[in-house]
Structure 1
Amino acid sequence: MTPVPIAVVGPTASGKSALGLWLAHQLGGEVVNVDSMQLYRGMDIGTAKLPVAEREGVPHHQLDTLDVTETASVARFQREAVADVEDILERGRTPILVGGSMLYVQALVDDWRFPPTDPVVRSRWEERLRDLGVGALHRQLADLDPQAAATIEDNDPRRTVRALEVIELTGRPFRASQPPKNAPPRWGTRILGLRTTPEWLNPRIELRTRLMFEQGLVGEVEALIRDQGLAADSTAGRAIGYSQVFEAMAGELDWDEAVERTITGTRRYVRRQRSWFNRDPRISWLDARENTEGQARRILGLD
């Protein structure tokens, strides 16, 4: 019998990596990363990427596939991750899809055919970006398509421009180009979601953020700038935590402010994740505060 992939989704810092490892051991599985920033080589501390020594011998795919000077692409990720999942299935293993990057999860779990692009339309929106700045352009997106704006970070110029391009080309909201969330998942994937409360998750986010800075996030950024050419205005450089380090290095923030803004930026992103995943009726929810392994065992019938 062909194995069925299991996806583990949910907010940042909710325990997805640990549950993914447990499932891999239980099901003879291999992990496929679905966190867009963990695609970048060298971005380890600030993305909470599991070190090799902590992967417990479980093969991991879609980690460290991009240089920090490259632009992460949902379409490229979809092609490569689908190939990984199908290779794992062909070998009789179980793919365990782990991550909380919303569009990346949907691109992998659903058969999403990406809308067209037009260089003339794209360049016109890029010119508006240069004239207005990303904040004003994101507010324009929010006026046209509030749901798209809710899932795209307000400091992400590339995805803001892309959403506006799709809206102009199709005459429909950006979200209308995405597959419906009540469609059967690709490969019959079972989707597990970790449900949290702010009262439980916020202290975890604060602790994890402070540990990242204590464990060398600033040194990691300095090394990526020196050795790999990480830039503040790149996709990688705008990641939560990394952008705040850049601002502090430029003297725009003091270091305490950089930590606090990383915490608040993460909490803001978590609200987007909750809103996105809560709309997916296919997710079987686990209470992240309790014994998630026991809950997953019951839901998947592993007893």
Structure 2
Amino acid sequence: MIIVCQQCQTRFHLDDDATRKSTFVARCSVCGHLFSAYRPVRTQAITFIDLEKVRQAEADDTVMAISNRKGGVAKTTTCLNLGASLALYGKKVLLVDFDAQANLSLCLGKRELPTFYDAQKAVSRPLDEFIVATAYPNVWLLPSGRNMVLLNKNYFGSRDFEFLLKDRLETLEAEFDFILIDTPPSIEFSTLNALTAARRVLIPCQCDYLSTHGVDQVLRLIALIRKKSNPLIESRVLLTMLDRDTSVSQMILSKIKRLYQGQTFETLIEMDGQLKEAQILSMPAIHYSRKSPAAKQYIQLAREILVATDRAAVSAP
């Protein structure tokens, strides 16, 4: 690696094995100046199945990303409950846990299993070998785990890195009616890959005016993705955690609907004690209590999505 003295601009070549630290202090042998130096970040080349095909192909209409820069807005809860609700309509659903925190996997009782990172390291093996069945009919999971952070470390910035997830999901397009991707509350490898692979983005937004900042950031990112790699990507905002008993929530709801006029789902997700109980038990609300407000609302959201994606007419499950 090459380091440069900030005082006299002398360049030095150090063996990569000289230090394992990412940041270290060096002394210039010419002028004696002490300065901080950094090991270069080296990205790894990505092995694709068919890069040219996925670069040219439109995003699959069945793929939806759940995304927001702000945490605590019910991304994972929505991914889990929407997936389970679509399954009630007889749809085969794959949930992709693309967040290194692995909350979706934990909610489904799937711990310490091979992840997308393992699948990428074994690119010659079919992706469906890494997909596991869940306790719920018609719902499958591609788990996450601690090694998912290595995707960002090893590949972020590599050439065409944003097409990696789309490249692998292309092999599954005929197996599932819907693929839902749970993303982290940050803009990095996982989120950029999810937005490149998805035809639609569902943006959960808590009925809290500050939550709109996270929505705005995602919408700006989607605009960039639309220009660069996914021209047909669409997005809608899902209002969550609504407390109908407070005038403040109603006022914020009205402001948010005006702010994102024509960009919100008709369905609203309310604050619901039974939904919180279901979360504690790591269950979808509809399998904990089908009569709870949130369960009914997620089922209605599933129907709204089925209509929006031009699926066959369905009756309530």
Q: TM-score, normalised by structure 1?
A: 0.38
Considering fraction of residues, name the structure with more helix: 1
- Tell me the TM-score normalised to structure 2 length: 0.36
Higher relative contact order (CA 8 A, sep 6+): 1
Q: Which has the larger radius of gyration?
A: 2
